[in-house]
A and B are shown apart, each in its own frame.
Chain A
Amino acid sequence: AQKITQTQPGMFVQEKEAVTLDCTYDTSDQSYGLFWYKQPSSGEMIFLIYQGSYDEQNATEGRYSLNFQKARKSANLVISASQLGDSAMYFCAMRPKITSGTYKYIFGTGTRLKVLA
């Protein structure tokens, strides 16, 4: 069965500093995809970044990058130059195996990030 683990319930970072949010996953599939979402207090889940298991390079999107270590089954999110608006919950997620007949994207329990001025 697939599983996502986020071990940091909360994190603090100083404005303009970089921060790493941890995510480990468990799957027996060779082909899989990992996502990070941001959820501000308003409630909307905002897609940030995607990493495919066969992608040779780590994904980057602006200030977001994904530190993908396949052998360790980790997909940590790195936010560079933190801004006050980055304060939110962050969720790591995995898509279902395409041939599995299931459609359940699974999510971790999230990490609450607080950026300090």
Chain B
Amino acid sequence: GAGVSQSPRYKVAKRGQDVALRCDPISGHVSLFWYQQALGQGPEFLTYFQNEAQLDKSGLPSDRFFAERPEGSVSTLKIQRTQQEDSAVYLCASSIGTVGNTIYFGEGSWLTVV
């Protein structure tokens, strides 16, 4: 596609529910990133994929967070047993090469846990 596409754009989850957020990167982009952005803050790194390999998951805040990119294109970020502190915008980004290139973001998935 022309840009990074994310769905759903908005999600309201009850505390304890599981959620899945989808990211469709720019076609042919090797690298895929997930970031979490709390209200009024800058984006915080969650995890990085190079093709289907998850090379860095150092930013995932707990074992309730899980990400995958099984075929090296679409990625899913899953949050299990959501808690109120998980409320944030989840941004996906992709870049054409490996580390160092410009990363291009999607519009984000706005998650509210009630």
Q: Which residues of A are in contact with B by a Cβ distance under 8 Å?
A: 4, 33, 35, 37, 42-47, 50, 91, 95-96, 98, 102-110
Chain A hits for B58, CB < 8 A: 102, 104
Question: CB within 8 A of B108: which of A43, A47, A109?
Answer: A43
A45 touches B105 (CB 8 A): yes
What's the nearest-Cβ distance from chain A to residue B104, in Å?
6
Contacts across chains A and B counted by CB atoms under 8 Å? 61
User: CB-CB contacts of B63-79 with A at 8 A, as 1s and 0s?
Assistant: 00000000000000000
B1 at the binding interface (Cβ < 8 Å): no
A37 to B99 CA separation, bound complex (whole angstroms): 18
Q: Which residues of B are in contact with A by a Cβ distance under 8 Å?
A: 31, 33, 41-45, 48, 50, 55-56, 58-59, 89, 91, 93, 99-108, 110
Chain B hits for A91, CB < 8 A: 42-43
Chain B hits for A35, CB < 8 A: 102
A50 touches B102 (CB 8 A): yes
What's the nearest-Cβ distance from chain A to residue B94, in Å?
12
Q: Is the interface of A mostly helix, strand, loop or mixed?
A: loop
Nearest B-chain residue to A103, judged by Cβ: B48
Given that A50-B102, A103-B99, A105-B33 are contacting pairs, would A45 and B56 also be in contact in the complex, using a CB cutoff of 8 Å?
no
What's the nearest-Cβ distance from chain A to residue B42, in Å?
4
13 contacting pairs across A/B (C-beta < 8 A): A4-B42, A33-B100, A43-B89, A43-B107, A44-B105, A44-B106, A45-B91, A95-B101, A98-B100, A102-B56, A107-B43, A108-B42, A110-B41
What's the nearest-Cβ distance from chain A to residue B49, in Å?
9
B99 touches A96 (CB 8 A): yes
A91 to B89 CA separation, bound complex (whole angstroms): 15
A37 touches B105 (CB 8 A): yes
B93 touches A45 (CB 8 A): yes
Top-6 shortest CB links A-B: A107-B42, A45-B105, A103-B48, A44-B107, A104-B45, A43-B108
